[in-house]
Amino acid sequence: MDDALLDDRGRQYAIVARAIEFIRGSALRQPSLAEIANAVHLSEFHLQRVFAAWAGISPKRFLQFLTKEYAKQALRKSADVLSVAVASGLSGPGRLHDLMVTCEAMTPGEIRRRGAGVPITHGLAPTPFGEALLAWTPRGLCYMAFCDDDASRRLVELAEQWPEATLTSDPAAARSYVARIFPDPSPPDAPPPQLHLVLRGSNFQIKVWEALLDVKTSRIVSYSQLAASAGMPNAQRAVGSALAANSLAYLIPCHRVIRETGDAGIYRWGSERKSAMLAWEAALDAA
């Protein structure tokens, strides 16, 4: 995906996020397309074009993916899939769109050394969900966070996680990573792009994150379903804490975890962004 297209999709996402915010505030009266367009200062025609370019579907279809009814139906489907997976003991790297993700955990010794001797490269790049700060070591990606006018804070957060590491900026390489994370559609027989993640967390957190990597695109799960999938059915609250500690946005897909009620729930990088991700992935799956 070229830089110009990523920039365009980032701008389109900003409009979509404002539309989602308006829809949530007006959910009880089911606003019309004209009302939504007016709220984001666009014509209906222009709003249609933005949604078609960003999500590949109409605003009406996109809004269907935002409803609680759709979320509850998706949860029921995931329950059937997860029950089979848990019963058969299946685990391992999952598939993310047309992307194959593998990962490894840092050792306790590496964590104690706080990144001493580790070169970390970082950069800001546009994504379909706004600007993001990415960072990577020679072993793989170790950080990805979405930025909403707070890129400097995200960079401080990265430095605090790796206080003894040597940090170097390379925005061009960050854009290259984003192009691999959000690839253009490829032929069915084409090998998927691969990414390697370096996970920094407790054994419990890593078990939760690895379970999330088994949740395929367009699937959503509840906190209790994820806890069961991770082999800890009574640890729903702790699972929530592990999701909050995730520092690899989107790649470890904590946005796919919602409440049993169908509510999207909180999200470290914004509830509108979480809803947009879920509907965008559903649109990809429906295409």
Nearest to 82 by CA among 196, 223, 240: 223
Q: Which of 103, 142, 147, 254 is catalytic?
A: 254
73-91: average pLDDT = 55
- Tell me whether residue 254 is one of the annotated catalytic residues: yes
41-52: average pLDDT = 91
Is the pLDDT score of 22 beyond 70? yes
Is the pLDDT score of 243 beyond 70? yes
Q: Identify the band that residue 92 occupies on the pLDDT scale cut at 50, 70 and 90.
A: very low
For the stretch 150-164, pLDDT in tens is 899 999 999 999 999
Domain ranges of the chain: 3-66, 70-286
For residue 248 the two structure tokens come to 């690899």
141-151: average pLDDT = 93
Which three-class secondary structure state does DSSP give residue 203? helix
6-20: average pLDDT = 85
Q: Say which CATH topology domain 70-286 has.
A: Arc Repressor Mutant, subunit A (1.10.10)
Hey, what amino acid is at 76?
R
Q: Which of 10-24, 77-91, 252-266 has the lowest mean pLDDT?
A: 77-91
Scanning the chain, the segments in alpha helix (DSSP H) are 3-25, 33-39, 44-55, 59-64, 68-88, 108-112, 151-161, 171-181, 203-213, 223-229, 236-244, 271-286
Q: Identify the band that residue 185 occupies on the pLDDT scale cut at 50, 70 and 90.
A: low
Q: Identify the band that residue 84 occupies on the pLDDT scale cut at 50, 70 and 90.
A: very low
Percent of the chain scoring above 70 in pLDDT = 86
Confidence at residue 90, expressed as pLDDT on a 0 to 100 scale: 34
